[in-house]
């Protein structure tokens, strides 16, 4: 086993997954995170009034195989509950659900889809044709290079209602970008992996505990093997000399050297840590400046009574896109995991809210909200909730919080893959991880974990001890498998 020392900069999912993988491989890992908690963007923290809130609701899908593997490695899998039924409501108050039937993939969702009350027959016919174009091409329909998702939907003759009430609803949430700005490859991949390739791909996984509680096992995994996890430990410089990583300089001036480094910070932060000649124009990392970001707004509302019965609800025709019933989702921990039960009992802020209801709303690609005041956003959301949840009309709002993440995710813009670097760099003992590196996945927890595993694999391969961490996708099923094989796609 190799015994080299590795520094990991950044304690988000990319840094954590690479650190855990390398520790398992026997390396001495030291992880540095500038914030007081682990998890990066996918974390939770305590507000001044004592309520613990997720930075924003984070959900996973059945097709996120590497995130599932990571949760298992760190003992957090039991804190994720999967839901087979999706709930929708439109401006007319019509409710629909989506769940798998016994039909084989890719037809498993067809019966729910046929009953979907917010779409008419022409909308559904168009959507079914486009879905079949993806499925029969094994996930790779022709003619999608260099076009936006909206261009492709127009080519596929989708009705305006189908675009607004189906494609946009799914894709803006999954990719955090408007259809006109989304590369068609990214949009089509969401439907292939999530809805068509395997019957379990669409299942929604939601933590039944605050996000930060998922990561305690990471620290243990690193410490158990003689490593170190340091919080409030910001790095201000990565030192490179003669094309070799030499060490880091911490914010307090401390210099630390190691055999290798994985930089797992956001792409724009990395540019500030690297030697200027590497980050500036024509330098090997200058392309990172072309990766754009898009915003997500999370709105937390505490009502004085129960206003919603579903665990979560997708809104059509509204600014609010998802409502998560946090009281119920955390309550689900009661039957889910003893660890979660312990957390709920010891958390005073949740006890105090026991007679009311805590909801978390998510608005992706929330460009229109960036300049709005917090109060304007709360008022808008409360109006929308009153439209779709009649009980909210009489309810009193006890408190509310808005969290605007301006740079929430990288934008899956046309051609973005050109700027996403591999985990290997031109500096032979410096590796990159982060959802923005080349993983083929959009900016997601799954993408971040993939990048961490790939960075760990690259580092071990470079030191002559190759190991595999990356997990395969869900197996292709049913007709999707047949069509993919016919088209020569990988299973
Ligand atoms: C509002 C919101 C909602 C989202 N919803 C979902 C969702 O539902 N499902 C999903 O799959 N994904 C979702 N995402 C995306 C997901 O959170 C990210 O893709 C993923 O967490 C990125 O992980 P990462 O490790 O690449 O980056 P980060 O999580 O950004 O981690 C980078 C880490 O580096 C640290 N750092 C930065 N600079 C330094 C420094 N100088 N020294 C030391 N440490 C440093 C940061 O503090 C941070 O902890 C959402 C993101 C946001 C913002």
pLDDT digits (tens, 9 = 90+) for 446-484: 999 999 999 999 999 999 999 999 999 999 999 999 999
The reported pLDDT for the residue numbered 488 is 81
The two three-digit tokens of residue 138, written as one number: 């094994």
| Position 70 pLDDT exceeds 90 | yes
14 lines ligand 1 (CB under 6 A): yes
Backbone angles phi, psi at 406, to 5 degrees: -70, -40
In short, whether 267's Cβ falls inside 6 Å of ligand 1 is no
pLDDT confidence of 487, banded at 50, 70, 90? Answer: confident
Encode burial over 247-260: b for 16+ CB neighbours within 10 A, e otherwise: ebebeeeeebebbb
pLDDT for 342 equals 37
Please choose from 7, 10, 256 the residue to mutate so as to test ligand 1's pocket, defined by most ligand atoms within 8 A of CB: 10
Beta strands in 127-243 (DSSP E): 204-207, 228-230, 235-241
Secondary structure letter of residue 332 according to DSSP: T
Using an 8 Å Cβ cutoff, are 238 and 273 in contact? Answer: yes
Provide the 10 A C-beta neighbour count for residue 72.
13
Nearest CA to ligand 1 atom 51: 408
Q: Is the pLDDT of residue 347 over 50?
A: no
pLDDT category at 331 given cuts 50, 70, 90 is confident
Q: Which of 142-156, 246-260, 347-361 has the lowest mean pLDDT?
A: 347-361
Give me the percent of the chain exceeding a pLDDT of 90: 92
How far is the C-alpha of 124 from the C-alpha of 291, rounded, in Å? 35
Whether 218 is in the pocket of ligand 1, judged by its Cβ within 6 Å, is no
CA of 439 to the centre of ligand 1 (A): 15
pLDDT for residue 429 is more than 50: yes
**What digits encode the pLDDT tens for the residues 178-215?**
999 999 999 999 999 999 999 999 999 999 999 999 99
Residue 352 reports pLDDT greater than 90: no
pLDDT band at 349 (very low <50, low <70, confident <90, very high): very low
Position 282 scores a pLDDT of 87
User: By C-alpha distance, which of 447, 175, 416, 448 is closest to 287?
Assistant: 416
Ligand 1 atom closest to residue 407's alpha carbon, by position in its atom list: 53
Contact 155, 143 (CB under 8 A): yes
Ligand 1 centroid – CA 214 distance (Å)? 14
Flag whether pLDDT at 242 surpasses 50: yes
CB neighbour list of residue 444: distance below 8 Å, 6 or more residues apart: 64, 174, 409, 435
Confidence at residue 489, expressed as pLDDT on a 0 to 100 scale: 55
The tens digit of pLDDT for each residue in 355-370 reads 799 999 999 999 999 9
Peptide bond into 448 cis (omega under 30): no
Does 409 sit in the ligand 1 pocket, CB within 6 Å? yes
> What's the pLDDT at 417?
97
- Among 444, 463, 461, smallest CA distance to 66 is for 444
pLDDT of amino acid 124:
98
Range 76-99 average pLDDT: 97
Q: 376 Cβ partners below 8 Å, 6+ apart? A: none
Q: For residue 38, which atom of ligand 1 is closest to its CA?
A: 49
Predicted TM-score (pTM) of this structure? 0.95
Cα atoms in the 13 Å half-sphere on the side-chain side of 290? 15
| Distance between CA atoms of residues 413 and 181, nearest Å | 5
Phi then psi for residue 242, to 5 deg, are 45, 50
Provide the token pair at 423.
């985990």
CB 16 within 8 A of CB 29: no
Among 397, 328, 322, which residue's Cα sits nearest to residue 360? 322
Region 57-64: mean pLDDT is 98
Mean pLDDT of the chain: 94
Instruction: Give yes or no for residue 336 having a pLDDT over 80.
Output: no
Give the pLDDT of residue 281: 87
For residue 59, the ligand 1 atom closest to its alpha carbon is: 8
Distance 113 CA to ligand 1 centre (A): 34
Q: Is the pLDDT of residue 145 over 50?
A: yes
* Residue 473 token pair: 């996708």
- Our answer on whether the CB atom of 295 is closer than 6 Å to any ligand 1 atom is no
Say whether pLDDT at 438 is over 90: yes
Report how far residue 327's alpha carbon sits from residue 361's, in angstroms, rounded to the nearest whole number.
13
Whether pLDDT at 343 is above 60: no
12 close to ligand 1 (CB < 6 Angstrom): yes
Q: Which residue has the tokens 């304690």?
A: 11
> What is the band of 350 on the pLDDT scale with cuts at 50, 70, 90?
very low
Rounded Cα distance between 435 and 446, Å, is 8
- pLDDT for 355 equals 78
Mean pLDDT of 234-247: 97
CA of 272 to the centre of ligand 1 (A): 17
Q: How far apart are the first and last CA of the chain?
A: 32
* Confidence at 354, pLDDT banded by 50, 70, 90: low
Distance, CA of 238 to CA of 259 (rounded, Å):
13
Neighbours of 373 (CB within 10 A): 10
Query: How far, in Å, CA of 125 to CA of 465, rounded?
Result: 53
The confidence score (pLDDT) of residue 251 equals: 98
Q: Dihedral, CA atoms, 132, 153, 293, 361, nearest 10 degrees?
A: -80
């Amino acid at each position: 086993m190799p015994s080299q020392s590795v520094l990991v900069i950044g304690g988000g999912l990319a840094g954590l997954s690479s650190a855990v993988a390398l520790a398992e491989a026997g390396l001495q890992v030291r992880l540095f995170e500038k914030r007081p908690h682990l998890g990066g963007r996918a974390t939770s923290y305590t507000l001044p009034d004592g309520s613990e809130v997720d930075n924003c609701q984070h959900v996973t899908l059945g097709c996120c195989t590497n995130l599932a593997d990571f949760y298992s490695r760190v003992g957090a899998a039991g804190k994720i509950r999967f839901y087979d039924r999706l709930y929708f409501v439109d401006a007319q108050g019509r409710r629909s659900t989506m769940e798998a039937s016994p039909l084989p993939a890719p037809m498993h969702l067809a019966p729910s889809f046929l009953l979907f009350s917010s779409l008419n027959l022409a909308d559904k016919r168009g959507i079914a044709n486009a879905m079949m174009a993806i499925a029969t091409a094994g996930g790779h329909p022709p003619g999608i290079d260099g076009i936006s998702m909206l261009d492709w939907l127009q080519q596929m003759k989708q009705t305006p209602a189908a675009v607004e009430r189906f494609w946009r609803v799914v894709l803006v949430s999954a990719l955090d970008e408007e259809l006109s700005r989304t590369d068609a490859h990214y949009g089509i991949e969401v439907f292939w992996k999530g809805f068509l390739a395997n019957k379990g791909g669409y299942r929604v996984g939601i933590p039944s505990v605050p996000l930060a509680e998922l990561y305690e096992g990471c620290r243990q995994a690193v410490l158990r093997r003689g490593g170190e996890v340091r919080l409030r430990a910001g790095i201000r410089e990565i030192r490179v000399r003669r094309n070799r990583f030499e060490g880091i300089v911490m914010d307090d001036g401390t210099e630390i050297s190691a055999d290798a480094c994985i930089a797992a910070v956001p792409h724009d932060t990395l540019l500030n840590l690297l030697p200027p000649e590497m980050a500036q124009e024509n330098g090997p990392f200058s392309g990172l400046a072309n990766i754009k970001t898009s915003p997500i707004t999370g709105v937390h509302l505490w009502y004085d009574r129960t206003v919603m019965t579903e665990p979560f609800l997708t809104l059509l025709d509204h600014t609010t896109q998802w409502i998560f019933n946090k009281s119920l989702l955390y309550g689900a921990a009661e039957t889910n995991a003893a660890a979660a039960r312990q957390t709920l009992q010891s958390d005073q802020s949740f006890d105090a809210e026991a007679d009311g209801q805590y909801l978390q709303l998510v608005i992706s690609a929330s460009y229109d909200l960036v300049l709005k005041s917090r109060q304007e956003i709360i008022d808008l959301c409360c109006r929308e909730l009153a439209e779709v949840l009649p009980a909210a009309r009489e309810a009193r709002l006890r408190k509310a919080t808005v969290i605007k993440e301006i740079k929430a995710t990288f934008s899956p813009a046309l051609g973005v893959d050109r700027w996403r670097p591999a985990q290997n760099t031109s500096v032979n003992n410096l590796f990159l991880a982060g959802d923005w590196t080349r993983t083929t996945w959009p900016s997601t927890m799954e993408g971040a974990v993939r990048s961490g595993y790939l960075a760990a694999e690259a580092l071990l391969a470079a030191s002559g001890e190759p190991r595999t961490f990356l997990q395969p996708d869900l197996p292709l099923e049913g007709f999707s498998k047949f069509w993919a094989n016919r088209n020569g796609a990988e299973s």
